[in-house]
Amino acid sequence: MAEYKAPLRDMRFVLNEVFKASELWASMPRLADVVDAETADAILEEGAKLTARELAPLNRSGDEEGAHWDNGDVTTPAGFKKAFATYAEGGWVGLSGNPKYGGLGMPKMLSAQFEEMMYSANNSFTLYPTLTTGACMALNAHASQEICETYLPNMYAGVWSGSMCLTESHSGTDLGLIHTKAEPQNDGSYRVTGTKIFITAGEHDLTENIIHLVLAKLPNAPKGPRGISLFLVPKRLVNEDGSLGESNDVSCGSIEHKMGIRASATCVMNFDHALGYLIGEVNKGLTAMFTMMNYERLSIGIQGLGCSEMSYQNALEYAKERTQGRAATGATQPDKAADPILEHPDIRRMLLNIKATTEAGRAFSTYVAKQLDLAKFSDNADEKASADALSALLTPLAKAFFTDVGLENCIQGQQIFGGHGYICESGQEQLVRDVRIAQIYEGTNGIQALDLLGRKTVANGGKFFTAFAREVKGFVESNNTKTMAEFVTPLSKALGNLERVTFWVINKAANHPNEIGAASVEYLHVFGYTAYAYMFALMAKTAQDQLTAGTEEESFYLGKLSTARYFYKRLLPRIHSLTEIVISGADPLFELSNDQF
Amino acid sequence: MAEYKAPLRDMRFVLNEVFKASELWASMPRLADVVDAETADAILEEGAKLTARELAPLNRSGDEEGAHWDNGDVTTPAGFKKAFATYAEGGWVGLSGNPKYGGLGMPKMLSAQFEEMMYSANNSFTLYPTLTTGACMALNAHASQEICETYLPNMYAGVWSGSMCLTESHSGTDLGLIHTKAEPQNDGSYRVTGTKIFITAGEHDLTENIIHLVLAKLPNAPKGPRGISLFLVPKRLVNEDGSLGESNDVSCGSIEHKMGIRASATCVMNFDHALGYLIGEVNKGLTAMFTMMNYERLSIGIQGLGCSEMSYQNALEYAKERTQGRAATGATQPDKAADPILEHPDIRRMLLNIKATTEAGRAFSTYVAKQLDLAKFSDNADEKASADALSALLTPLAKAFFTDVGLENCIQGQQIFGGHGYICESGQEQLVRDVRIAQIYEGTNGIQALDLLGRKTVANGGKFFTAFAREVKGFVESNNTKTMAEFVTPLSKALGNLERVTFWVINKAANHPNEIGAASVEYLHVFGYTAYAYMFALMAKTAQDQLTAGTEEESFYLGKLSTARYFYKRLLPRIHSLTEIVISGADPLFELSNDQF
């Protein structure tokens, strides 16, 4: 495996030059004092060092060793404990946490870039703090001040960690079916009983306590999703003075044997009259979960992006070193027995597919993070409303599209290695196994697509979508210049296509409820490539401006323009077939009866 | 994992009804006495039993245990030895072998369907006899009668096995670079020295001898691919009376740790002045290898097909059992807490994608096998020439397209399982890991695409392609009826598109050598979907004829028509984007300089 190097130059390009983050932060009082360009840059520099030095070296050994389960105790692979301590001491768990309870209060635009580094370096490791971040977010938004004060400082400090206990063996996508029960006690607490599966970081040896957020049903709760409440169930109880008390009735029954992310403990968690505390309102547990969902979903999407970047670095190194055959236009190193495979068009095609979608993905993750930051920090009501709409619309897109493209990118990187990519030694096959989970967990990509097209588009008659389309049109109109024509003309066409297909589904779905599900995955991909076209137009504009102004980094900006052109010519055309498939409608899916399958 | 059941009904439909195999066999003197409809059917029945009872049960345990290496000895996982003995005793190794040396002489049309069963049941197991079949084919075509008599009967009987030793660590695709040397001895034999890697079944405990076919260079051989000769190097020498003699200087240095096919030993093989015998002519080793290449490549393609079928069976069983959520048009089992996920359009989409491409693939593998049989057995010179051209053209297509689609199908099957698909227990993640190798070995799919478009199309000015196009046009013209219009009209359009893009590349490549490599992979996919459209038109015609004639299996034939419609509506449109990408040409791939990557 190539040694991971965080793509700092490209991250800075996106953050500072394309989205002018520091100007944005300065405009929002709640961020102005917390972060500026210099702070952000220092954090990215430190993050790059940490991920390269502490996390990447444990990636393959962690996969080979895996997490261990022994009679309820879970041990992480060698080195994880020390690395987690370094990570926690650096304050990284609380990077975007609430400063009131010891978090650093950093914007998502910055933490999203750090998350990309984390996933590039070590998927399994990253899941431990990521789950804690998610749990903290839910507590910060819905728990009482007392609970926040008791739990958040230790969680932000990485002394305690968190888990999210949703799934049961018969109930995944359809959480309304869960069986776990919570019985109210006289002192206002609850006793939680049930078994949860697929609990990432449900048990491990990295922290002295684990704070489980558990979905359960109260006695006589309404059936289905409206009868679910959220409970905080600590592994070890916390005394009034904040010190650790006795163990709670929570145990880890086993860990799963999985295709990948083997150093991440995926636990079966048994709650046996465990002491728990209600978080948020009774029967509104799912709402409490959804508060943090957009943040979390973007992070899991970024797993796909981080893996894409690592795939690129790994495959590029190999494509430059490996010699085989000759360039079609004549030997490029005639003194040697063969040319580097980078000379072959099909190898370039795969590398450029990865490069282009990773750069567009990085821009898009920062763009979506910007919406999340505006929604959270802006004091301007209109700006906040628009950002709320855009982040609601675009997070399921980012989660599913980054990870679908992420798998394709890891597979393409593996193909560049030929037979060597199938061998564990190259590190590339682990990337394929690790990235695959990101299309499945945190809501499968099929569910993300239904969320994007059903809840976020059809349900509001395309209101959120129109907000996005308006922004893109504004950009096209104000950049309708000769030099930008090669980018904005196809962008404008792609947007027109996306608008037509969006309203085609909205109209069709009014009388045909199956049309949403029949269209959703292909629709999401049409949207994804169109959004990437917008990102490349934004980046091309920035690059052109820098070149016009004069720069010592001409090659970087010219490379960006070439990559943009590659995207428009060889990736954006994918939307045409996808659109045609959407428009073919739901009927072909239901012509076969169930027993004809 | 669902219990594997060979899709006998569909195999018979393809073999007997669509391609009328027994009529074809009866027309060829060398096959007429060997096989008829009844024999073929009995073989498929027995094959179905064998694969379901002996091979499928060892699939997961074989993956978990893996092959073992200990100081040069390789042990296969528990049960493999017994299953291989049963397999060998049944005569399956020699199924398509030369009857002169104890083979059964069966046509590829039949053995291809049996191979599909094998790969569905157990990828790793199947590789042991498959490599033997390949080695036998090369010997049968190029070795002296003495060698054939010495080796083939034991190999067909499964008492000895074979391996193909091509790759070296620095030389895979570009075999001209190999270092392995063969020194001529006074008695006409050779001493072979070198190290080969990625040798499937290079060492194991299934047979008492292993016959290695090794590519090596004679002293002063010309540089590059024209200086390669082929040698037979047995693990144990064979005495004049045919009994086993002493060990040869061949050893297994280690086995690889791989993403999948873990029960298949992938060996590093060391030859240290090992005794070997020249096969075929000096410096024509690659030609000798290519003799069997089309047969072997189709078989490896069929690995993708077999995995697709298993993915379908596994995912369909889950989709019928797993209940989650409600059908969009109202509950289908209101008395239960949820409906089967088979009711959800996106689940049907994934299942139908797998089903349609698997059925088309099965037809296409049988169609390509038919060409291989005609090329081998026909006494009609014109028929033979046309079959030679079609099999040369279509085998790289089948190898790459079946396996590219095979990965997609295994991934889609895994997605249907949700989180359960990521856990080893479901068996589905193993399928994903196992099928992945088929896109890489036996020539990567990128190399197959270059072969299809470069050597088999551009190099002959589209002559082979035109033979294929003529056949499809003939079918379209003779079925230009009202009932067939929904199939032949889009088929005709797709063929027209394929013709245009084929000749676009041929013209463009005349002056731009990079255009072939830039177009090849997407071109192969355009061709693949178009070929599948032809298969579905053939199958639809057969189904319509049966329905018109009256049948008790109405549901089967109607289901075939519905699946055909699904293919035309939701899969064939993929060709449009792919075509557009081909036509974008090679320039976007070379705009970035190597250091801008």
Contacts B569 to A, Cβ<8 Å: 581, 584, 588
What SS3 string covers A375-397?
HHHCCCHHHHHHHHHHHHHHHHH
Sole residue written with tokens 């989205």: A19
Tell me whether residues B577 and A581 touch, CB distance under 8 A.
Answer: no
Report whether pLDDT(A291) > 80: no
Contacts B405 to A, Cβ<8 Å: none
| Domain end position, chosen among A290, A314, A342 | A290
What CA–CA distances, in Å, run from A89 to A47, A100, A105, A158? 13, 18, 16, 8
* CATH number for the domain that contains residue A437: 1.20.140.10
Tell me whether residues A433 and B436 touch, CB distance under 8 A.
Answer: no
- Predicted pLDDT of residue A292: 72
Tell me whether residues A198 and B419 touch, CB distance under 8 A.
Answer: yes
Contacts A569 to B, Cβ<8 Å: 581, 584, 588
Tell me whether residues B257 and A425 touch, CB distance under 8 A.
Answer: yes
Q: Which residues are A163's β-sheet partners? A: A212
Of residues A199, A414, A434, the one with CA closest to residue A303: A434
Among the partner residues A173, A436, A517, nearest to B324 by beta-carbon distance = A173
Q: How far is the alpha carbon of A77 from chain B, nearest alpha carbon, in Å?
A: 19
In this structure, are A197 and A326 located in the same domain? no
Q: Is residue A594 in some structural domain?
A: no
Q: Is residue B571 in some structural domain?
A: yes
Q: Is residue B597 in some structural domain?
A: no
Q: Is residue A409 in some structural domain?
A: yes
Query: Looking at this protein, which amino acid is placed at residue B381?
Result: A
pLDDT digits (tens, 9 = 90+) for A465-475: 999 999 999 99
Non-local (6+) Cβ contacts of A386 within 8 A are A374, A467
Q: How far apart are CA A415 and CA A417, in angstroms?
A: 5
Longest dimension (CA), chain A: 85
Tell me whether residues B440 and A423 touch, CB distance under 8 A.
Answer: no
A147 half-sphere exposure, CB direction, 13 A CA radius = 22
Q: Which residues are A162's β-sheet partners? A: A211
Catalytic residues of B: 442
Residue ranges making up the domain that contains B320: 292-442
Contacts A565 to B, Cβ<8 Å: 588, 591
Q: Is residue A596 in some structural domain?
A: no
Among the partner residues B171, B259, B576, nearest to A580 by beta-carbon distance = B576
Non-local (6+) Cβ contacts of A151 within 8 A are A139, A143, A160, A211, A232, A234, A238
What rounded mean pLDDT belongs to chain A? 97
Mutate to test the interface with B, among A322, A422, A434, A583 (most CBs of B within 10 A): A422
A477 class by beta-carbon count within 10 Å (0-12 exposed, 13-18 middle, 19+ buried): exposed
In this structure, are B306 and B378 located in the same domain? yes
**Length of chain B counted residue by residue:** 597
Q: How far apart are CA A350 and CA A361, in angstroms?
A: 16
- Predicted pLDDT of residue A18: 98
Closest chain B CA to residue A509: B328
Tell me whether residues B328 and A513 touch, CB distance under 8 A.
Answer: yes
Determine the Cα angle at B147 with ends B143 and B149, to 5°.
115
Query: Looking at this protein, which amino acid is placed at residue A361?
Result: G
Among the partner residues A174, A346, A596, nearest to B517 by beta-carbon distance = A346
In this structure, are A238 and A116 located in the same domain? yes
Q: How far is the alpha carbon of B99 from chain A, nearest alpha carbon, in Å?
A: 35
In this structure, are A267 and A327 located in the same domain? no
Q: How far is the alpha carbon of B562 from chain A, nearest alpha carbon, in Å?
A: 6
What CA–CA distances, in Å, run from B249 to A79, B179, B206, B275? 43, 18, 20, 7
Of residues B167, B171, B266, B165, the one with CA closest to residue B213: B165
Tell me whether residues B562 and A591 touch, CB distance under 8 A.
Answer: yes
Contacts B168 to A, Cβ<8 Å: none
Non-local (6+) Cβ contacts of A71 within 8 A are none
Closest chain A CA to residue B411: A436
Q: Is residue B596 in some structural domain?
A: no
What CA–CA distances, in Å, run from B294 to A79, A300, A587? 49, 44, 40
- Predicted pLDDT of residue B508: 97
Q: Is residue A597 in some structural domain?
A: no
Return the CA Rg of chain B: 24
Closest chain B CA to residue A316: B597
Tell me whether residues B418 and A440 touch, CB distance under 8 A.
Answer: yes
Non-local (6+) Cβ contacts of A249 within 8 A are A271, A272, A273, A274, A275
* CATH number for the domain that contains residue B23: 2.40.110.20
Among the partner residues B172, B328, B429, nearest to A514 by beta-carbon distance = B328
Phi-psi region of A195 (alpha: psi -120 to 50; beta: other; left: phi over 0): beta
Among the partner residues B325, B338, B342, nearest to A594 by beta-carbon distance = B342
Q: Is residue B24 in some structural domain?
A: yes
ipTM of the complex: 0.98
Among the partner residues B259, B559, B580, nearest to A429 by beta-carbon distance = B259
Non-local (6+) Cβ contacts of A387 within 8 A are A370, A371, A372, A373, A374, A375, A378
Q: What values do phi and psi take at B192, rounded to 5?
A: -105, 130
Global pTM reads 0.98
Dihedral angle, C-alpha B171, B283, A334, B178, nearest 10 °? 20
Q: Which residues are A236's β-sheet partners? A: A247
What CA–CA distances, in Å, run from A420 to A19, A314, A354, B517, B558? 40, 12, 19, 21, 46
Q: How far apart are CA A30 and CA A100, in angstroms?
A: 12
Among the partner residues A257, A586, A592, nearest to B424 by beta-carbon distance = A257
B198 half-sphere exposure, CB direction, 13 A CA radius = 20
Of residues A306, A384, A360, the one with CA closest to residue A130: A306
Question: In which band, very low, low, confident or very high, does the pLDDT at A487 lie, cut at 50, 70 and 90?
Answer: very high
Tell me whether residues A521 and B320 touch, CB distance under 8 A.
Answer: no
- Predicted pLDDT of residue B1: 86
- Predicted pLDDT of residue A58: 98
- Predicted pLDDT of residue B287: 87
Domains: count for chain A: 3
Q: How far apart are CA B186 and CA B180, in angstroms?
A: 20
Give the tokens for residue B75: 């042990």
- Predicted pLDDT of residue B293: 75
- Predicted pLDDT of residue A287: 87
DSSP-derived pairing of the beta strands A266-279 and A250-255: antiparallel
Are A259 and A431 in contact by the 8 Å Cβ rule? The answer is no
Q: How far apart are CA A251 and CA A269, in angstroms?
A: 6
Residue B222's CB is within 10 A of a number of other CB atoms, namely 12
pLDDT, average across residues A582-594:
97
Q: How far is the alpha carbon of B387 from chain A, nearest alpha carbon, in Å?
A: 30
What CA–CA distances, in Å, run from A98 to A140, A238, A296? 7, 21, 16
Contacts A173 to B, Cβ<8 Å: 324-325, 418
Q: What values do phi and psi take at A204, rounded to 5?
A: -175, 180
pLDDT digits (tens, 9 = 90+) for A213-227: 999 999 999 999 999
Give B451's DSSP letter.
Answer: I
Q: How far apart are CA B68 and CA B77, in angstroms?
A: 8
In this structure, are B308 and B272 located in the same domain? no
In this structure, are A74 and A169 located in the same domain? yes
In this structure, are B366 and B481 located in the same domain? no
Question: In which band, very low, low, confident or very high, does the pLDDT at A45 lie, cut at 50, 70 and 90?
Answer: very high
- Predicted pLDDT of residue B283: 97
pLDDT above 90 covers a percentage of chain A that reads 98
In this structure, are A396 and A452 located in the same domain? no
What CA–CA distances, in Å, run from B292 to A381, A548, B137, B142, B284? 72, 59, 6, 10, 14
Query: Looking at this protein, which amino acid is placed at residue A36?
Result: D
pLDDT digits (tens, 9 = 90+) for A57-69: 999 999 999 999 9
Burial letters for B372-386: b for 16+ Cβ neighbours within 10 Å, e otherwise?
bbbbbbbeeeeeeeb
Secondary structure tally for chain B: helices H, strands E: 20, 11
Return the CA Rg of chain A: 24
Non-local (6+) Cβ contacts of A16 within 8 A are A22, A37
Of residues A129, A527, A559, A560, the one with CA closest to residue A364: A527
| Domain end position, chosen among A390, A416, A442 | A442
Contacts A566 to B, Cβ<8 Å: 588-589, 591-592
Sole residue written with tokens 């890891």: A410
In this structure, are A114 and A211 located in the same domain? yes
Closest chain B CA to residue A441: B419
In this structure, are B305 and B398 located in the same domain? yes
Tell me whether residues B320 and A594 touch, CB distance under 8 A.
Answer: yes
Of residues B340, B355, B320, B343, the one with CA closest to residue B565: B355
Closest chain A CA to residue B576: A577
Of residues A231, A98, A81, the one with CA closest to residue A156: A98
| Domain end position, chosen among B259, B290, B321 | B290
Contacts B355 to A, Cβ<8 Å: 597
Q: How far apart are CA B186 and CA B175, in angstroms?
A: 28
Q: Which of A296, A442, A515, A522 is catalytic?
A: A442
Contacts A337 to B, Cβ<8 Å: 177
A145 class by beta-carbon count within 10 Å (0-12 exposed, 13-18 middle, 19+ buried): exposed
Closest chain B CA to residue A172: B324
Are A254 and A173 in contact by the 8 Å Cβ rule? The answer is no
In this structure, are B421 and B451 located in the same domain? no
- Give average pLDDT by consecutive 10-residue segment, chain B, 597 residues: 96 98 96 96 98 98 98 98 98 97 97 98 97 94 97 98 96 94 98 98 98 97 96 97 97 98 98 98 91 82 98 98 96 96 98 98 98 95 96 97 98 98 96 98 96 98 98 98 98 98 98 97 98 98 98 98 98 98 97 97
Closest chain A CA to residue B554: A596
pLDDT, average across residues A494-506:
98
In this structure, are B465 and B429 located in the same domain? no
Question: In which band, very low, low, confident or very high, does the pLDDT at A388 lie, cut at 50, 70 and 90?
Answer: very high
| Residue B343: its H or E element | none
Q: Which residues are B217's β-sheet partners? A: B181
- Predicted pLDDT of residue B528: 98
Contacts B257 to A, Cβ<8 Å: 423-425
Mutate to test the interface with A, among B426, B591, B595 (most CBs of A within 10 A): B591
pLDDT digits (tens, 9 = 90+) for A63-95: 999 999 999 999 999 999 999 999 999 999 999
Closest chain B CA to residue A169: B420
What CA–CA distances, in Å, run from A565 to A258, A351, A356, B596? 39, 15, 9, 14
